[in-house]
Structure 1
Amino acid sequence: MTSLRHNQSSASGAGVEPVPSARDPRDLYLDAARACLLDVGWRRTTLTEVARRAGVSRMTIYRTWADMPRLLADLMTREWSGVVAAAVADQDDSLPRVQRLVSTITATVGTLRANELFVRIVELDPELILPYLLARRGRSQDLILGVVESEILEGQARGDIRPGNPTAIARGVLLAAHGFVLSAHTMVDEQVSEQDVESELALLLTRGLLP
């Protein structure tokens, strides 16, 4: 699972260090939007306030995003993609393929569930997530599906993962993960710990992927 791990081009020639590129101004604007959402939530965040926090004119922000929903979509894509990329980068390549994939998925679920932006949205503006659960997939979901499907295809070719439609298997994995991201806390009490729930997810995924 390397497609998200090596996302910077290497410099040509031995011993030559890559020259760091300047940060995309859009990232600075998204940083400002993220800070707004953490502070006051979606309903009270405006493009004008984002511009003020970013230290640019309103027209600069309006030229980049025509409205807040488009800005939010880019912010969530960046945030969730970053969570996935971090989990992939931290995976242990010495583990068997299924165990490695399951470990990466469960780590992603746990990190996303604790992500401060995700928690803030769920607390204040849960309706922002509903379209991606009830109506359509988002870009970050498609990114995750692509990574998981690629790993499943490689595992099937080596006999490590059960036969079947890799696209359908990847989508089943993502659907299972959705529930653990959004609702795991409702299943935690004096009888079942968060770790117990996470172990059940790992077992569910492992048995669903092994031949």
Structure 2
Amino acid sequence: MASHRHNPAGGQPPAREQAGPRDGYLDAARECILDVGWKRTTLTEVARRAGVSRMTIYRAWPDMPALLGDLMTREWGGLVARGVDLSGPPTPQQVADAVAATVEALRDNELFTRIVELDPELILPYLLARRGRSQELVIGVLAGAVADGQRAGTIRSGDPVTIARGVVLAAHGFVLSAHTMVDDAVDTAALDAELRTLVVRSLTP
């Protein structure tokens, strides 16, 4: 996986309209993780970077895992919200394009890349033990799109949630392991094209 080191000038999260204090605290945590990694990030350091007391941060989150959960939900949920437009009855190709765009955005996201580089064990529970809030968000968006397409006759029949979960399972490999399949013979663009083909063929009536 390509390394995406933190760039203070260009690594700020996108501006948020009417961002409240909690977003500022999450921004501080994000910057700290990018700078020193998860293991060296503490609530005390987050408070220092946010310019507030330690108790202010503790009132929002009891520990770092709770803070990380909210940060990841905001980060990945924001990627989905910005990168996916499945309004109207979607076609299999539109769903495939949205899935591939989200996969690419995750692979390029500096926070995600930093966590995978320094603290990959943080990702394992969401692959081996349970679904996270961000995964549930993606599944919900996909299931809604599948149901809309089924009503319009553009997507095959089947339980929308089951179909959506299958697509997410397939996408996991393209997010986390695509770099292991890239060499002089196959590049990332070719793999992403295969992902689109997989999704299109799995959804076509």
Paired position in structure 1 for 2:174: 180
Equivalent positions of 1:76-91 (< 5 A) are 76-89=72-85
Paired position in structure 2 for 1:62: 58
Within the candidate set 25, 29, 34, 2:25 is matched to 29
**In structure 1, distance between residues paired with 2:58 and 2:36:** 21
Equivalent positions of 1:154-173 (< 5 A) are 154-173=148-167
Give the residue type in structure 1 aligned to 2:148.
E
5+ residue gaps, structure 1: 1-19
Could you say what the CA RMSD is over the residues aligned between the two structures, in angstroms? 1.7
**In structure 1, distance between residues paired with 2:197 and 2:19:** 41
Deviation for aligned residue 1:21: 6.9
Greater CA deviation, 62-71 or 98-107?
98-107
Equivalent positions of 1:118-137 (< 5 A) are 118-137=112-131
Deviation for aligned residue 1:99: 1.4
Paired position in structure 2 for 1:189: 183
* TM-score after normalising by structure 2: 0.89
Secondary structure of the residue that 2:154 maps to in structure 1? Answer: coil
5+ residue gaps, structure 2: 1-15
CA deviation profile, 1:78-111 (whole Å, cap 9, x unmatched): 000011011125x7x6996221111111000001
Deviation for aligned residue 1:158: 1.1
**In structure 1, distance between residues paired with 2:141 and 2:58:** 33
Deviation for aligned residue 1:26: 0.6
Paired position in structure 1 for 2:13: none
Write out the 4+ residue segments of structure 1 that deviate beyond 6 Å after TM superposition. Answer: none
Taking only the aligned residue pairs, the percentage that are identical comes to 64
**In structure 2, distance between residues paired with 1:130 and 1:46:** 21
Equivalent positions of 1:191-206 (< 5 A) are 191-206=185-200
Secondary structure of the residue that 2:177 maps to in structure 1? Answer: helix
Equivalent positions of 1:100-119 (< 5 A) are 100-119=94-113
